[in-house]
Amino acid sequence: DIQMTQSPSSLSASVGDRVTITCRASQGVSNSLAWYQQKPGKAPKLLLYAASRLESGVPSTFSGSGSGTDYTLTISSLQPEDFATYYCQQYYSTPPTFGQGTKVEIK
Amino acid sequence: EVQLVQSGAEVKKPGESLRISCKGSGYSFTSYWISWVRQMPGKGLEWMGRIDPSDSYTNYSPSFQGHVTISADKSISTAYLQWSSLKASDTAMYYCARPGVPGYNWFDPWGQGTLVTVSS
């Protein structure tokens, strides 16, 4: 199985801050990488797929980049509704695997 | 609107059996695999396995193979996740999810989740 490692595991930030979350795969995943947002008590919500393609309806403050084994989710200007836990997921090979999550908290 | 609607929360005792469901609507149910994902309390997301509703072909994660069974009834657009003998360690939220595009394993939408509590 491909192991996905996110960093940091948690971070504190203020509204308006630029936030970057990193996801590293144990082997290359050829941009087969998705990002999800999960709020307490809710199902995960797809933000981006194919590393950088924004899902319809997701604000353009979210962006993704990367290649090979290293990928990044960036929130350009943190909004109050963005405080949540974020997960990366590779779908290059089966089983699909998730990172351990990054919790974004209010500073 | 594409939707996955899951069955309600369950409280069971160790050793009991259980089947939870996930009903798809707003799309061709047989055109997309359905996956199941576990989230233990306070933990991350784990892919358990998937089913092709068109022919009931299944794939399981090695971590879950033999511990759960995934099935589907295409006539009622419903997928199932079942246990024959629950353990306390099966206590978790379980989500069903559909690929955003057939043949790919990124997930959108997700069901709302079914909380399974196993306690004596």
Q: What is the DSSP string of A71-88?
A: EEEEESS--GGG-SEEEE
Is the CB of residue A91 less than 8 Å away from at least one CB of chain B?
yes
* Cβ-based contacts of B107 with chain A (< 8 Å): 34, 36, 44, 46, 89
Is the CB of residue A54 less than 8 Å away from at least one CB of chain B?
no
Average pLDDT, rounded, for chain A = 97
Contact B113 A95 (CB under 8 A): no
* Cβ-based contacts of A36 with chain B (< 8 Å): 45, 107
Is residue A103 pLDDT above 90, yes or no? yes
Facing residue for A94 by CB, picked from B45, B59, B112: B59
Q: pLDDT grade, residue A75 (50/70/90)? A: very high
pLDDT at position B40, please? Answer: 98
Helix (H, G, I), strand (E, B) or coil at A2: coil
Amino acid letter, residue B23: K
Contact A43 B44 (CB under 8 A): no
* Cβ-based contacts of A32 with chain B (< 8 Å): 104, 106
Task: Collect the ranges in chain B with pLDDT lower than 70.
Answer: none
Residue range A12-35: mean pLDDT, rounded:
97
Q: How far is CA B24 from CA A37, A40, B2, B4, B112, in A?
A: 22, 24, 8, 5, 12
Strands (E), chain B: 3-6, 10-12, 18-25, 34-39, 45-52, 57-60, 69-73, 78-83, 92-99, 107-110, 114-118
Is residue A107 pLDDT above 90, yes or no? no
pLDDT at position B95, please? Answer: 98
pLDDT at position B96, please? Answer: 98
Is the CB of residue A57 less than 8 Å away from at least one CB of chain B?
no
pLDDT at position B39, please? Answer: 98
pLDDT at position B103, please? Answer: 86
Is the CB of residue A100 less than 8 Å away from at least one CB of chain B?
yes
Residue range A23-31: mean pLDDT, rounded:
98
